[in-house]
Amino acid sequence: MGIQNLIWQVTKKAFTGGIIGITISDRCCSVVPVRGDSMSPTFNPQRNSYLDDYVLVEKFCLKDYKFARGDVVVFSSPTHYRERYIKRIVGMPGEWISSSRDVIRVPEGHCWVEGDNKASSLDSRAFGPIPLGLIRGRVTGVVWPPQRVSKIG
Query: What residues are annotated to the active site?
Result: 38, 87
135 by Cβ neighbours in 10 Å (0-12 / 13-18 / 19+) ranks as: buried
Is the C-alpha dihedral spanning 83, 151, 97, 137 positive or negative? Answer: positive
- Is the Cβ–Cβ distance between 107 and 96 less than 8 Å? no
Query: Terminus-to-terminus CA distance in the chain, angstroms?
Result: 55
